[in-house]
Amino acid sequence: MASSIRVRATSSGDTTEVQALIQHPMDSGFVKNAKGELVPPHFIQEVTFEYGGKSVFVADWGPAVSKDPYLKFAFKGGKKGDELKISWTDNKGGTDQTTAKIQ
Amino acid sequence: MRSVFGSTFGLVIAALLMGATHSAAATDTPNPAADAKAFQKFFADKFPKVKFEDFVNGPYSMDAGLYKQWKEKEEFPPYEFALDMGKELFAKPFKNGKTFADCFPNKGIGIRQNYPYFDEKQGKVVTLELAVNQCLESNGEKPYSYTKDEMAAVTAYMAFTSRGKPFDIKIPNDPRALEAYENGKKYFYTRRGQLNFSCASCHVQSPGERIRAEVLAPALGILNAMPIYRSEWGGMGTTSRRFTSCNSQVRGVPLKPQDDEYRDLEYYLSYVSNGLPISGPGARP
Amino acid sequence: MSNEIDKTRRLILQGAAVIALAGITGIRFGLTEAFAAANDKYPEEAFKQKNGDDAIKSLYGKTAEKSDKVKLDAPEIAENGAVVPIGVSSSLADVTSIAILVTENPFTLAAAYKIPAGTVASVSNRLKMAKTTNVIAVVEAGGKLYSASKEVKVTVGGCGG
Amino acid sequence: MRTFILALTAILLTGAAMPAFAASTEADFKTAYAAAEAANNEAGKLRNQWTTTVSALAAAKKAAEAGDFDKAVAASKHAEELAKASIHQTLEQKDGWKQMDIR
């Protein structure tokens, strides 16, 4: 299976810009399915970005984050070719992680 | 309830009046080339500020606020996952060892702009979606459902490899082809559903305007961006999905995906967008 | 990959995450602040609050003052309430956290971001909005809270696209 | 075109005008439903059914199952009117579509 995480990390000298897209339903618990039943909440609660063994960004999310969530941030430092580690966990205990090379 | 009813009624009357103000005594000799020219001129005149090739960007070419949101979305477009899935499916061998590449000219790469075409052997219009399923079936595989998922993924990938190539739809010298084109055109302009709207009511007469605050896409170039990730759908959809959902929105019972009328409609609508680049897969509100 | 392996891998990862979180908490934030935003724990309570003030209080334990140094980038009219691009950035020094609230949603807190030293005080994401609403950006800088807000008009459904 | 507006207006208005005075029987419902269904099938052959006809038919069936034949007959009649309007629309548009054509 392909990873649920897509990452683009680009270094522009002193800062590294990171964009990530995660495949996840992000069900809020307020939406009904075709049968009229509420779809139980199922959403990512935490996303962590680590570089050089340190976390450079942590996202805490509620159910209001859009389906297939997107994030953009930047941090100082980050060398081309180095790895960035990304992981998420959701409210049902689901999790995934990946690494991305800084371009 | 009352307001829904009232606004519906208002829309119906407005649509009827719009129709009635059109004088037009149409000549009955089909002339696709003249149609396409008039069609493109109509949109160029209506939206003098929109560059010709930007019509493939749908409502985003019409509204600055939307344009900005779109650009932000395109930084990491929501169709990315479908595209990856499509690439995988496209390369994955069937049980008999063949792949999609074996079914298509140029191994299926960079050919989106030639679909739909009129197949003289089958005597009908063949859309890309139909061709994908014909490929699967002729290789002993189960066909995809037409509206989303795998079909959207594979056509997304095929469109992606064709980005920038102008639509190049041909009408061969075969009376059946011209008839299919005319059928499609008729379907496009025919009012249907309880709201009494034709495709043209929304996408010719009112693009750039808002219906319940949504900006309508111009018909010119609308198929160049297919398949699309539509926020309203919360996912990907094919041309089939677009047509069927439009029919339901005007309170008409949709036909089956890839029924004759829909393929003919796609033939007409693609033909009059000839020259505009393929931009799919797209992202739409 | 078989489901079993997948499941096992998931369970292992989960365990690893718990250990990692426990480890970091003690070192980075243990001494200074006790509130959710400063902890590495998921701020469960803050995400359950139904109004902005309560959510901010639950998250940070204090109230925010308006500041023009908090920049909130949000569309005037959302193309679709399901996907509204929102960006927050700040020119304030020592930013440690950014939170985004959507006041008309059932739960107002949408997202909270920890900004470690060395990370730029800027984040973009896409949020769901139930209806026309105020969006509040909260930035924690130098231990104080600053905010900015903007109205986003949301309309749904129909014959668009 | 004008007759069509009138027809449509009539339909929209009669939709609100509800049950007849005399109590309806199951037989009344069956007759009314069959007529509505026939009209809707005709519209189907013309490739132009309305979703509202389909929902009115469903509502009629549901009311009949619940034993409310007044409501079932009213809904059937409404469905028949809608189906007839959709047929009328199709016939009117047989050439009417040319009015919209861009030349």
Is residue C111 within 8 A of residue A71, CB to CB? The reply is: no
Residues C112 and C36: their CA atoms lie apart, in Å, by 10
Q: Tell me which residue in B76, B234, B235 faces A21 most closely, judged by beta carbons.
A: B76
Per-residue pLDDT, D21: 54
- Three state DSSP letters for chain B: CHHHHHHHHHHHHHHHHHHHHCCCCCCCCCCHHHHHHHHHHHHHHHCCCCCHHHHHHHHHHCCHHHHHHHHHHHCCCCCHHHHHHHHHHHHCCCCCCCCHHHHCHHHHCCCHHHCCEEECCCCEEECHHHHHHHHHHHCCCCCCCCCCHHHHHHHHHHHHCCCCCECCCCCCCCHHHHHHHHHHHHHHHCCECCCCECHHHHHCCCCCCEECCEECCCCCCCCCCCCEEECCCCEEECHHHHHHHHHHHCCECCCCCCCHHHHHHHHHHHHCCCCCECCCCEEEC
Residues 6+ apart with CB under 8 A from C4: none
The yes-or-no verdict on residue C7 having pLDDT over 70 is no
The yes-or-no verdict on residue C18 having pLDDT over 80 is no
Percent of chain D with pLDDT over 70: 78
Instruction: Determine, for residues A6 and B85 on separate chains, whether the beta-carbon distance falls below 8 Å.
Output: no
Whether residue C60 sits in one domain with residue C35: no
The arithmetic mean of pLDDT across residues B127-140, rounded, is 98
Name which of B41, D94, C100 is nearest A61 in CA terms. C100
pLDDT tens-place string over residues C20-72: 333 333 333 333 344 544 456 889 889 988 888 899 998 999 899 999 999 99
Whether residue C86 sits in one domain with residue C20: no
Is residue C90 within 8 A of residue C139, CB to CB? The reply is: yes
Would you state the CATH architecture of domain B33-285? Orthogonal Bundle (1.10)
Confidence class of residue C19 from pLDDT cuts 50, 70 and 90? very low
* Domain residue limits at C73: 46-154
Instruction: Determine, for residues B85 and A2 on separate chains, whether the beta-carbon distance falls below 8 Å.
Output: yes
Q: What SS3 class is residue C63?
A: coil
Query: Strand C77-78 vs strand C144-154: parallel, antiparallel, or unpaired?
Result: parallel
The yes-or-no verdict on residue D68 having pLDDT over 80 is yes
User: Hey, is the C-beta of B55 within 8 angstroms of any chain D C-beta?
Assistant: no
DSSP state of A38: B
Q: What is the mean pLDDT of chain C?
A: 77
Is residue B217 within 8 A of residue C161, CB to CB? The reply is: yes
pLDDT tens-place string over residues D9-55: 445 444 444 444 568 888 999 999 999 999 999 999 999 999 999 99
Per-residue pLDDT, B180: 97
Instruction: Determine, for residues A72 and C118 on separate chains, whether the beta-carbon distance falls below 8 Å.
Output: no
Per-residue pLDDT, A100: 92
pLDDT tens-place string over residues A75-98: 998 889 999 999 999 999 999 999
Confidence class of residue B202 from pLDDT cuts 50, 70 and 90? confident
Is residue B57 within 8 A of residue B279, CB to CB? The reply is: yes
- Per-residue b/e over A54-80, b at no fewer than 16 CB within 10 Å? ebbbbbbbbbbbbbbbbbbbbbeebee
Confidence class of residue B27 from pLDDT cuts 50, 70 and 90? low
Per-residue pLDDT, D99: 82
Confidence class of residue B205 from pLDDT cuts 50, 70 and 90? confident
Which of the pair, C139 or B9, is modelled with greater confidence? C139
Domain residue spans in chain A?
5-101
User: Hey, is the C-beta of C93 within 8 angstroms of any chain B C-beta?
Assistant: no
Inside any domain, residue C75:
yes
Q: Which of B135, B199, B202, B246 is catalytic?
A: B246
The arithmetic mean of pLDDT across residues B202-207, rounded, is 81
The yes-or-no verdict on residue B73 having pLDDT over 90 is no
Do chains D and A have 3 or more beta-carbon pairs under 8 angstroms? Answer: no
The yes-or-no verdict on residue B90 having pLDDT over 80 is yes
Inside any domain, residue C66:
yes
Q: What's CA C26's distance to the chain center, in Å?
A: 22
Whether residue C10 sits in one domain with residue C86: no
Indicate which CATH number applies to the domain containing C126: 2.60.40.2470
Choose the weakest-confidence range: B272-281, C110-119, D94-103: D94-103
The yes-or-no verdict on residue B37 having pLDDT over 90 is yes
Q: What SS3 class is residue C160?
A: coil
Per-residue pLDDT, D22: 62
Name which of B39, B190, B204 is nearest D96 in CA terms. B190
Which of the pair, B25 or D31, is modelled with greater confidence? D31
Q: What SS3 class is residue C75?
A: coil
A5-101: what fold?
A: Immunoglobulin-like (2.60.40)
Percent of chain B with pLDDT over 90: 64
The yes-or-no verdict on residue C5 having pLDDT over 60 is no
The yes-or-no verdict on residue B28 having pLDDT over 70 is no
The yes-or-no verdict on residue B97 having pLDDT over 90 is yes
Dihedral sign, CA of C55, C60, C62, C63? negative
pTM score, two decimals?
0.77
Choose the weakest-confidence range: A69-73, C10-14, D10-14: C10-14
The yes-or-no verdict on residue B10 having pLDDT over 80 is no
Per-residue pLDDT, B214: 62
Choose the weakest-confidence range: B132-136, B207-211, C8-12: C8-12
Instruction: Determine, for residues B59 and C161 on separate chains, whether the beta-carbon distance falls below 8 Å.
Output: yes
The reply to whether B135 belongs to the active site is no
Nearest CA distance, C155 vs chain B (angstrom)? 6
Q: What is the ipTM of this complex?
A: 0.72
Instruction: Determine, for residues A64 and C112 on separate chains, whether the beta-carbon distance falls below 8 Å.
Output: no
Confidence class of residue C127 from pLDDT cuts 50, 70 and 90? very high
Confidence class of residue D2 from pLDDT cuts 50, 70 and 90? very low
Whether residue C104 sits in one domain with residue C30: no
Inside any domain, residue C124:
yes
Confidence class of residue B8 from pLDDT cuts 50, 70 and 90? very low
Per-residue pLDDT, C41: 81
Between positions 57 and 76 of C, the ones with CB within 8 A of B are 75-76
Whether residue C127 sits in one domain with residue C85: yes
Per-residue pLDDT, B222: 93
Whether residue C72 sits in one domain with residue C14: no
pLDDT tens-place string over residues A32-49: 877 888 889 999 999 999
User: What are the start-end ranges of the H helices in C29-159?
Assistant: 52-60
Inside any domain, residue C104:
yes
Percent of chain C with pLDDT over 90: 47
